[in-house]
Chain A
Amino acid sequence: MTINLQATVDPSRTKSKSWGSPTLIIAVLVIVFFVLSALLGPWLFAQQAGTVNPAIGRQGPSAAHLLGTDQLGRDILARTIVGSRASLGYAFGATALTALIGVGLGLLAAALGNRARQLMFQISATATAFPAILLAVILATLFGRSGTAAMLGLAIAAVPTTARITMTLAVGAAGSDQVAAARVVGVGTLRILLRYVLPQISQPLATFTILAAASNLVALSALSFVGLGVQPPEWDWGAMLNSALKEIYTSPFGVVGPGIAIVLAGVVLNIVGEHLARLLDPRNRGRRAASSTPTASARPVTDPPSGEALRPVDIADPVLKVQDLRVATNTEPHLELVHGVEITVGRGQRVGIVGESGSGKSLTLSAMAHLMPSGLGSTAAHHKFNGTELADKDARTRRSVLGDQVALVFQDPMSSLNPSLTIGSILSDKLKAHTNLSRSEVRRRVIAALDEVSIPDPSRTVNRFPHQLSGGQRQRVMIALALLGRTELLLADEPTTALDVSVQRQIANLLVRVNEERGISVVLVSHDIALVSEICDRIIVMRNGWVVEQGTTEEVLTDPQHPYTRALLAALPQTLTAVTSGVTVDKGTRSLA
């Protein structure tokens, strides 16, 4: 299967990062060497490995025998190379067998009904509780002390863990939208498992399997070492260690060869296992791991868009003024995502930033609070907050100024509230950080703040946890946080998007109320121009990292200058702009109180 990447991937972004780390290259080369020696070693070196010559026994390293000889005078290097077939073969054999049975059972659980699945989970949980290595020892003894017996013992002992991991992953994958969609289309169960579930979980499973192979190698060597695995005249690294250890005081070099082999193989398998997940992801072959970085357009645009409609902003005493604000990735190539925007927020104003995904609106908001997502950095020619120039200050000063006076509200309040703290402690932490109030005074203020944002029964809510509140209530708690302390500016990023429509209205009203009653300035980022027009005095329109238009709400709506603003307005359903007969909504003077 080849993937055509030409269509959308900019060549400047296709950095061949997949093989980046030299450690990984070395690890892969070592594995190739081991595999070759397992395949060809017995064939090439059987002679040296098997020739008994007690006259030259127990020798140290020499030109003829690089790792010395064992008690019977056999070349240890040759024996290590030949022994790799048994060591690696049984270890990989055990791993493959475990993977086959374990993954099969795990997928079966995903395909079964709820009750059968619960039963399988119970069985595997019980089985996992029994120590795997002990089970392997018992089984290897039962199966009769041979390499094959040890392999089977290890394989079976590891099945419960693999099955359990596969089950957990597969059940999750089976609940995904793509599986639901495939079911609706009529795709059969087997095909869903193989084409939809297995690919989703193959990355973690592959990593897990490689790591299991490494531990199997060590476990097999241990079994051989205690005499349960490979039996003479066959040998593997563990058996070699066993016989060399008996003579360690007379010929200490005997343990070096097999010892190095076991450790090296274990280490390189672990290295590859850890890199595998990244290598297997098809998106990483052409694109950088863009999913983890914010969704701004990463196009290396340098020219400003034509026909900007930047009406002059004349605000005498702005609470916030940023000039030439830029956001770019920290790593090469430095992609600029926000291209030098200027934003002024007047004291007590409500300013809306409107744009679609990739417009850079959220990044601009984060940069205003100096909270950049990892991997991104921001610069600004001026960053003046409440009369203090922050652009030339160090990060600590900025944080102490902004942390005290800027509050943030995000789209998903669940992810911004610590789930293990009660609402009361989340709110009082903020007060304690910035004031020296008594406990009872803190509690009184917290309850007052919750009351102010219309949380019902605030004296009981302080003892609740975030998950016990509805989405709208959690958002109210975020706004209550803003009311504590000396907040001058509230930055809200899509604060209503995750909420039900009727709750959206309440949160929008609350933002307006907080602004009007407390004089806290508000910057609202949203994709919804209608919502922004209801709340905000001024609107800034962003696109691809540029501000394309700004002005008062009336100017932007009734006399849009930039074609993109016009297009955004034109894309709104007709019904939003036309008066619907009978509904008592007066758009011109709609009150939000």
Chain B
Amino acid sequence: MTRIEARGIKVTYGHGRHTVDALKGVDIDFDDVRSLGIAGESGSGKSTLAKVLLGMVSPNEGHVLIDGQPMESLPKKGPGSRSRQVQMVFQDPTSSLNPRTNVGSTLAEAMIVNDIDCDRSKEVRRLLGLVGLEDAFASRYPYQLSGGQKQRVAIARALACRPSVLVCDEPTSALDVSVQGAMLELLAKVRDEENLALAVITHNLDVVRALCDDVVVLNAGDIVERGATDGVFGNPQHPYTRTLLDAVPRLRYQPFSAQSRSLPDALLK
């Protein structure tokens, strides 16, 4: 059981007259049973919230507790350290992978710096298998991979640290439409198989619907609505939530019959 609680998070950027309140006292919690979607547009403070959850930004007020323990008190190295507990998947796998390091070394590095004791090449194969890549990918370089494959590697790297918490920042936004669905399925699979407490930060409400049990809607540093995903999206209370839901483009016609929806995956490299 892993539980993350963020209490009264306030973050202010700049100083003097030019201060911007990125987060104005935000409370969230999620755990390995109920995953959380953090929905908002640019300027909502969602990326700042991600950095706070990862300990990359210290809030001006409030604190993050991991299983009741304040994040600042986590050891710097070894088991129980921040990087062993909380991991992240970035939006753009192309820029978040080191282009000069092959996949195997990228994964091994995460194990080495976190002092994870294991047979590394075996663990690399296990992780690749977990994210649906063949063993041969270990010797490939990022530029030899498609966007979806790179994002799988990025997920594998996060999992190599054996985290209990995974934060995803727009995990599908940089990917082609035809691989977005597969990426959501993969994230749901690793969440369940690795018992992860999952938080997904996104502007894309369909990503929230696919992955998250609960959702908070963030607007200009404040949570304007929160609750179970079905409830919030089925019966939105706040006008901003309604605007967001209404803004999602929808197919103008009911597409072709449902039974033929399961199509050859071979087409979707």
Asked if A186 and B249 make an inter-chain contact with CB atoms under 8 angstroms apart, the answer reads no
By beta carbon, the residue of chain A nearest B243 is: A502
Contact of A590 among B92, B136, B244, B250 (CB under 8 A): B250
Give the distance in Å from the alpha carbon of A533 to the alpha carbon of B41 in the complex: 23
Question: Beyond A567-B263, A575-B209, A585-B246: 11 further Cβ-contacts under 8 Å?
Answer: A4-B140, A181-B97, A185-B157, A191-B113, A502-B41, A553-B253, A557-B255, A577-B251, A583-B233, A583-B236, A583-B246
Interface residues on B, range: 35 or more
Interface 1/0s, chain B 256-269, versus A by CB < 8 A?
10001111100110
List of A residues within 8 angstroms of B92 by Cβ: 177
List of B residues within 8 angstroms of A559 by Cβ: 256
Measured between C-beta atoms, what is the minimum distance from A511 to chain B in Å? Answer: 12
A316 located at the interface, meaning its Cβ lies under 8 Å from any Cβ of chain B in the complex: no
Asked if B249 and A563 make an inter-chain contact with CB atoms under 8 angstroms apart, the answer reads no
Given A502-B41, A530-B250, A582-B235, answer yes or no on A287-B113 (Cβ-Cβ < 8 Å). no
A433 located at the interface, meaning its Cβ lies under 8 Å from any Cβ of chain B in the complex: no
B154 located at the interface, meaning its Cβ lies under 8 Å from any Cβ of chain A in the complex: yes
Asked if B252 and A534 make an inter-chain contact with CB atoms under 8 angstroms apart, the answer reads yes
Give the distance in Å from the alpha carbon of A572 to the alpha carbon of B98 in the complex: 31
Interface 1/0s, chain A 493-521, versus B by CB < 8 A?
00000001110110010000000000000
**Cβ < 8 Å to B, chain A residues 98-136:** none
Give the distance in Å from the alpha carbon of A178 to the alpha carbon of B101 in the complex: 11
B144 located at the interface, meaning its Cβ lies under 8 Å from any Cβ of chain A in the complex: yes
Give the distance in Å from the alpha carbon of A188 to the alpha carbon of B109 in the complex: 11
B84 located at the interface, meaning its Cβ lies under 8 Å from any Cβ of chain A in the complex: yes
List of A residues within 8 angstroms of B160 by Cβ: 185
By beta carbon, the residue of chain B nearest A579 is: B254
A356 located at the interface, meaning its Cβ lies under 8 Å from any Cβ of chain B in the complex: yes
A17 located at the interface, meaning its Cβ lies under 8 Å from any Cβ of chain B in the complex: no
Please choose the segment from B29-37, B178-186, B220-228 that sits at the chain A interface, where 4 or more of its residues have CB less than 8 A away.
Answer: B178-186
Asked if B56 and A529 make an inter-chain contact with CB atoms under 8 angstroms apart, the answer reads no
**Cβ < 8 Å to B, chain A residues 541-593:** 553-554, 557-560, 563-564, 566-573, 575-577, 580-583, 585, 587-588, 590
What are 8 A-B contacts with C-beta separation under 8 Å?
A: A8-B144, A184-B88, A282-B99, A501-B204, A505-B246, A575-B209, A575-B210, A585-B245
Contact of B41 among A357, A500, A557 (CB under 8 A): A500
Give the distance in Å from the alpha carbon of A504 to the alpha carbon of B90 in the complex: 23
Asked if A576 and B253 make an inter-chain contact with CB atoms under 8 angstroms apart, the answer reads no
Measured between C-beta atoms, what is the minimum distance from A504 to chain B in Å? Answer: 6
Measured between C-beta atoms, what is the minimum distance from A3 to chain B in Å? Answer: 6
List of A residues within 8 angstroms of B84 by Cβ: 186
Asked if A575 and B206 make an inter-chain contact with CB atoms under 8 angstroms apart, the answer reads yes
Measured between C-beta atoms, what is the minimum distance from B123 to chain A in Å? Answer: 15
A interface list, Cβ under 8 A from B? 3-5, 7-8, 176-178, 180-188, 191, 195-196, 199, 282-283, 287, 356-357, 500-502, 504-505, 508, 527-531, 533-534, 553-554, 557-560, 563-564, 566-573, 575-577, 580-583, 585, 587-588, 590
Asked if B264 and A178 make an inter-chain contact with CB atoms under 8 angstroms apart, the answer reads no
List of A residues within 8 angstroms of B54 by Cβ: 184
Give the distance in Å from the alpha carbon of A80 to the alpha carbon of B109 in the complex: 51
List of A residues within 8 angstroms of B141 by Cβ: 3-4, 282
Given A185-B83, A199-B100, answer yes or no on A501-B41 (Cβ-Cβ < 8 Å). yes
Asked if B181 and A186 make an inter-chain contact with CB atoms under 8 angstroms apart, the answer reads no
B177 located at the interface, meaning its Cβ lies under 8 Å from any Cβ of chain A in the complex: yes
Asked if B251 and A587 make an inter-chain contact with CB atoms under 8 angstroms apart, the answer reads yes
Asked if A572 and B113 make an inter-chain contact with CB atoms under 8 angstroms apart, the answer reads no
Asked if A504 and B247 make an inter-chain contact with CB atoms under 8 angstroms apart, the answer reads yes
B42 located at the interface, meaning its Cβ lies under 8 Å from any Cβ of chain A in the complex: yes
Give the distance in Å from the alpha carbon of A549 to the alpha carbon of B206 in the complex: 26
Measured between C-beta atoms, what is the minimum distance from A533 to chain B in Å? Answer: 4
List of B residues within 8 angstroms of A553 by Cβ: 252-253
Asked if A529 and B96 make an inter-chain contact with CB atoms under 8 angstroms apart, the answer reads no
Contact of B139 among A4, A199, A581, A582 (CB under 8 A): A4
Asked if A185 and B87 make an inter-chain contact with CB atoms under 8 angstroms apart, the answer reads yes
Contact of A558 among B81, B176, B250, B255 (CB under 8 A): B255
Give the distance in Å from the alpha carbon of A408 to the alpha carbon of B143 in the complex: 31
By beta carbon, the residue of chain A nearest B39 is: A501
Q: A-B pairs with the 9 shortest C-beta distances?
A: A186-B83, A531-B249, A177-B95, A500-B41, A530-B249, A573-B206, A505-B247, A181-B96, A356-B176
B118 located at the interface, meaning its Cβ lies under 8 Å from any Cβ of chain A in the complex: no
Asked if B143 and A283 make an inter-chain contact with CB atoms under 8 angstroms apart, the answer reads yes
Given A500-B42, A559-B256, answer yes or no on A571-B88 (Cβ-Cβ < 8 Å). no
Measured between C-beta atoms, what is the minimum distance from B85 to chain A in Å? Answer: 10
Give the distance in Å from the alpha carbon of A581 to the alpha carbon of B230 in the complex: 10
B114 located at the interface, meaning its Cβ lies under 8 Å from any Cβ of chain A in the complex: yes
B203 located at the interface, meaning its Cβ lies under 8 Å from any Cβ of chain A in the complex: yes
Contact of A580 among B90, B233, B255 (CB under 8 A): B233
Give the distance in Å from the alpha carbon of A195 to the alpha carbon of B97 in the complex: 12
List of B residues within 8 angstroms of A563 by Cβ: 263-264, 267
Given A184-B87, A356-B177, answer yes or no on A178-B250 (Cβ-Cβ < 8 Å). no
Contact of B256 among A527, A566, A575 (CB under 8 A): A566
Give the distance in Å from the alpha carbon of A4 to the alpha carbon of B104 in the complex: 13
Asked if A184 and B56 make an inter-chain contact with CB atoms under 8 angstroms apart, the answer reads yes
Give the distance in Å from the alpha carbon of A528 to the alpha carbon of B250 in the complex: 10
Give the distance in Å from the alpha carbon of A527 to the alpha carbon of B244 in the complex: 20
Give the distance in Å from the alpha carbon of A569 to the alpha carbon of B82 in the complex: 41
Give the distance in Å from the alpha carbon of A583 to the alpha carbon of B247 in the complex: 12
Measured between C-beta atoms, what is the minimum distance from B8 to chain A in Å? Answer: 24
List of A residues within 8 angstroms of B246 by Cβ: 505, 583, 585
List of B residues within 8 angstroms of A564 by Cβ: 267
Asked if A187 and B113 make an inter-chain contact with CB atoms under 8 angstroms apart, the answer reads yes
Give the distance in Å from the alpha carbon of A571 to the alpha carbon of B243 in the complex: 25
Measured between C-beta atoms, what is the minimum distance from B181 to chain A in Å? Answer: 5
Measured between C-beta atoms, what is the minimum distance from A507 to chain B in Å? Answer: 11
List of A residues within 8 angstroms of B209 by Cβ: 573, 575
Asked if A568 and B178 make an inter-chain contact with CB atoms under 8 angstroms apart, the answer reads yes
